[in-house]
Amino acid sequence: MKHGISLQLVDTHNQQPNRNRRECKYYWDELYTLVAAGGFHEIETPYDPMWAFGGRAGVPLVYGNIKAKDGTAESYLRRLNAAGIERVLGVHYMPGMFFNGASPTSPGANLDGYVGALLHFGEEAVDYVADIGGDYVTMSATPKIGDLEHAYGADFEAGCAAVLKATAAAVEKLAERANARGVKFCLKNEFWGLLRGEAVVDFVKGLNEKVWLDLDSAELAIAGVDPAAFARAHAAEIGVVHYSDTAFVDDQACYRQRNPEFPAVRASKVYRDLGDGKLDFAALERALTEGGYAGAAVVGCRDSYDVCRSILRARSYLNTRLPER
């Protein structure tokens, strides 16, 4: 199986020393060369609408910024090629920043605004992936449960039903666009969302357009689902695989927090570098191979404390435990 890497290993959301460097083109230009030197020549990038409003066109995480710096997706790809990156596999689209709705029965409800923004940037993401020759768009399926509870309060159940109904309609529109352009549209079911664990399977089956599953090993494991068993059960429906590691056990319902990836109840890092957690990737890769999965496995070292070390740790683990065949 071929292995790519996600540039979501760069933490662009939380303040850390030298964050301003990560908001400049030169940081990313160097990062591409380091990723290639680490033996990764295919990448996934976040598609993060926050950077459409941040005033930093050097951050290549929305199509508008790429056009501002390179003109076209083809020109951007040539810049990647010169750094040793052969192709962009796809993007992880994260529209959750637009959810700030109140109760659907209140005058301030903004579910329509959330869906409108989701569709606008989702269409951009699909067009970008198609233009650059990628394979998929995977979208965080719903807002965080903690944000939904905060927004809807006593109307939580009705609010969630409304969000899922609106999400289904929006996903069908984006999947129709993606299918027409030869791009797989996938749903990522983070452990903190309404479609966590196995819930995403029935949701996808109920849609009127072809939508694929995103098997993310850490997200499944934290939600109490064995990744290898999930692969065996749903191999034919998987559009992208993420090898993300974890040792986190959510025994205090951290998935209900507003910032669940940084638990407030304990000093704990949810995601680990590949091989630094407790997941069995050899068993997962066997299940995927036996099930006929033919795509790449994307290494996901989310929000790394040390980007260069994470790249090298992942490469070392893959070379010794999961060599490409």
Largest CA distance in the chain: 58
* Residue type at 144 in one-letter notation: K
CA distances from 283 to 60, 202, 253, 305 (A): 35, 25, 27, 27
CA atoms within 13 A on the CB side of 152: 20
Q: What is the pLDDT of residue 109?
A: 54
Lowest mean pLDDT among 94-98, 188-192, 261-265: 261-265
- Concatenating the DSSP letter of every residue in 159-213 gives HHHHHHHHHHHHHHHHHHHHHHTT-EEEEE--TTBTTTTTHHHHHHHT-SS--EE
Contact 210, 237 (CB under 8 A): no
* Residue type at 177 in one-letter notation: R
What SS3 state is found at 45? strand
Task: Name the residue among 43, 60, 56 with its Cα closest to residue 7.
Answer: 43
**For residue range 41-68, what is the model confidence (pLDDT) as tens digits?**
999 999 999 999 866 788 999 999 999 9
Give ∠ CA 165-168-172 in degrees, rounded to 5: 150
Per-residue tokens: 100: 């700030």
Lowest mean pLDDT among 25-39, 175-189, 220-234, 291-305: 291-305
Task: Name the residue among 231, 194, 236, 199 with its Cα closest to residue 216.
Answer: 231
**For residue range 95-142, what is the model confidence (pLDDT) as tens digits?**
998 986 544 555 345 888 899 999 999 999 999 999 999 999 999 999
Contact 184, 178 (CB under 8 A): yes
Q: How far apart (Å, rounded) are the C-alpha atoms in residues 323 and 247?
A: 23
- Average pLDDT (67-94) is 97
The answer for residues whose C-beta is within 8 angstroms of residue 116's C-beta and 6 or more apart is none
Q: Is the dihedral of CA 40, 44, 49, 50 positive or negative?
A: negative
Pick the CATH number of 3-321 from 3.60.15.10, 3.40.190.120, 3.90.79.10, 3.20.20.150: 3.20.20.150
Residue 148, pLDDT > 70, answer yes
Q: How far apart (Å, rounded) are the C-alpha atoms in residues 133 and 183?
A: 9
Q: What is the pLDDT of residue 272?
A: 93
Per-residue tokens: 308: 């260069």
What SS3 state is found at 297? strand
CA distances from 221 to 64, 271, 320 (A): 35, 11, 23
Q: How far apart (Å, rounded) are the C-alpha atoms in residues 126 and 276?
A: 33
Q: What is the pLDDT of residue 102?
A: 46
- Average pLDDT (299-316) is 91
Per-residue tokens: 21: 């460097």
Q: How far apart (Å, rounded) are the C-alpha atoms in residues 10 and 90?
A: 16
Q: What is the mean pLDDT of the chain?
A: 92
- Average pLDDT (188-194) is 96
Q: What is the pLDDT of residue 264?
A: 84
